[in-house]
Structure 1
Amino acid sequence: MDNSELSRTLDTNKKQAEFYNTKKKNLPTRIWSSIREKTLHGIRKDLNIQQDFHDLHKIWFGELKGKKVLDLGCYAGNHHSRYLAENSKQYLGLDLSKVGIDILNKNLAHIPSGVGVVQDFLSESFTEKDFDLIYAYGVLHHFENIDLLISKLNEKLADKGQIISYDPLQTSTPIWLIRKLYRPFQSDAAWEWPFSRKTLLKFDKHFDILEKRGVLGHAKWFFILNLLPIPQEKKLKIGKSLHKKDWENSNTSMSHLFTCMQLTMHMQKRGS
């Protein structure tokens, strides 16, 4: 591992910790976040996209009873944090933010085998390993150096350990262009690195990708459909059909996956 690169990344993560403890965003970032969330939240809700992710992740977890689980970058807890803590043999929630982990620990107070810790995943002081499952919901794209990340994931996973991830993509040309124009004004640009084609190829090289699903490929244009003077029922029917096409084709076709805005993957550590 390149020590200078690791040191630079750890310094960046200190700034990231401060950002998530204070949530201080500049005006362009606040405007972009508001527009993005209002637009995408409506689409995800109307087309049942978020629920599809949550349901699929629960299937991918499998039987948790004997598993040691790392909930990576969980802040105060994500949709599945409580479920993972209550059903696994050992649960560790890890985040850079003390504010987030304090909240998480209050919510886990009734679970003897569950705890949240404030620590950097890449730091030498984080010594826990042999995780059967690493759940990384909206986290892996915060690492600029994918080689560092992949090396650490392999180090921390048990034999045949699995990763379930969920991250944004910038492989769609219009999305890449929008992000390119916005990035110079972005408060959190130093640790926001949506997956590129190159990123995906690196994960595919180092892990067995058991399954992957992309969303908001064709379905991202649902917001335009919503502007048209046609019955809402018909809009939803078309939108759900587009989402279904994204969901099914992205698992088998990389070209279709590259049109999507978000990706979830179920990966497994390769045997030595």
Structure 2
Amino acid sequence: MKTQEEIIEINKRQKDFYNYKSGKKNLPTQMWYYFREKTLKKIRKDIGILNESYEIHKTWFGDLSNKKVLDLGCFAGNHWSMYLAEHSKKYIALDLSDVAIASLAERLKSLPNAEALAADFLSEEFAEKDFDIIYAYGVLHHFQNPDVLIAKLDEKLAPNGVIISYDPLETSLPIKIMRVMYRPFQSDKDWEWPFTKKTYFKFAKTFTIVERHGLLGQAKWYFIMNFIPFMSEEKKQSIGKKWHKKDWNKSATSDSHMFKCMHLTMLMQKK
């Protein structure tokens, strides 16, 4: 496992990678990104996964009027960045990429309660703490050593503060096989660490998992229906939505079903 200092050094390369965008991705990584953005995102949109995960996050935010919010690893802004900035008492957007943060800062300049910072969450340079909410959409799996990350998250939260996360899982056998085959060719492999079972249980030991939902369990097979002739789009989507609901509901209480999923979203509270 990498130490905090080693992760900070890796994050300097990660910053360069995201500043250059696709220019630093090799061909296999570009293909994976295309699959993720064009195929997985389309599936999530078609059967309601994307919208439902966004809406549950908004519910978990609750009343923001008296809350200090950290939008962790938000790049140039995620789906809820502006909403969080406009409704919270204090909002801080944080990302490694100074290029992305400069873009978001321009959008935030009319909001006196909001600021955007280009800094490493783990470094002493980022001294802010006592956050009521840490929103981490697609971020927590970028840390190879979950112990270092968990300690820092716990340190930065206010009493009873919460983390709202969304990350990929590597616990489904077909997905694990696919990732193992892809990893030797992956140009961003040093900071891409989808959650394992061990990772999940480390978070569960430190924080109270108030609510959780797995996504793309049975529903990950929705893409196969695109190859079935003579089935209407309505029928395909109806089946996909049924599978998604099963994943969403069963994963909330069943570890075994959750670990069959590709993605996991959680509401975690400081103990």
Normalising by the smaller structure, the TM-score range is over 0.9
How much does 1:37 deviate? 2.2
Aligned residue in 2 for 1:269: 270
Q: 2:257 matched to which residue of 1?
A: 256
Unpaired segments ≥5 residues, structure 1: none
User: How many Å apart are 1:17 and its aligned residue?
Assistant: 0.5
State the match for 1:175 in structure 2: 175
Between the aligned partners of 1:175 and 1:105, the Cα distance in structure 2 is 37
Report Cα offsets for 1:174-198 as digits up to 9, x if no partner. Answer: 0000000000100100000000000
Per the alignment, residue 90 of structure 1 pairs with 90
Q: How does 1:122-161 map to 2 (within 5 A)?
A: 122-161=122-161
Q: Aligned pair count? A: 268
CA shift for structure 1 position 231 = 2.1
Q: CA deviation at 1:256?
A: 0.4
Q: How does 1:1-272 map to 2 (within 5 A)?
A: 5-23=3-21, 24-229=24-229, 230-270=231-271
Paired residue secondary structure (2:50) = helix
**Percent identity (aligned):** 59
Calculate the TM-score normalised by the size of structure 2.
0.97
Query: What is the Cα deviation at residue 25 of structure 1?
Result: 0.5
Question: Which residue type is aligned with residue 246 of structure 2?
Answer: K
Deviation at 1:226, TM superposition (A): 1.9
Helix, strand or coil at the partner of 2:227: coil
Give deviations 1:23-42, integer Å, cap 9, x for gaps: 12011111121123222122
CA–CA separation in structure 2 for the residues paired with 1:153 and 1:35:
31
| Distance in 2, Cα, partners of 1:5 & 1:240 | 42
- State the alpha-carbon separation in 1 of the partners of residues 37 and 87 from structure 2: 31
SS for the counterpart of 1:159 is: strand
Structure 2 distance, partners of 1:36, 1:127, is 34
| Corresponding letter in the other structure for 1:255 | S
C-alpha separation in 1, matches of 2:194 and 2:113? 33
CA RMSD of aligned residues (A): 1.1
**What CA distance in whole angstroms lies between the structure 2 residues aligned with 1:236 and 1:132?**
38
Distance 2:102 2:35 in 1: 30
SS in 2 for 1:226: helix
**CA separation in 1, counterparts of 2:161 and 2:220?**
33
C-alpha deviation, 1:236, in angstroms: 1.2
Q: Secondary structure at the match of 1:166?
A: strand
Amino acid of the structure 2 residue aligned with 1:12 = I
SS at match of 2:214: strand
Shift of the alpha carbon at 1:124? 1.2
Normalising by the residue count of structure 1, what TM-score does the alignment of the two structures yield? 0.97
Extract structure 1 runs of 4+ deviating beyond 6 A.
Answer: none
In 2, the alpha carbon distance for the partners of 1:87 and 1:33 equals 32
Query: In the aligned structure 1, how far is the partner of 2:252 from the partner of 2:97?
Result: 34
* One-letter amino acid of the counterpart of residue 238, structure 1: I
Q: Which letter maps to 1:144?
A: Q
Q: Distance in 2 between matches of 1:119 and 1:232?
A: 45
How far the C-alpha of 1:125 sits from its partner, in A, is 1.7
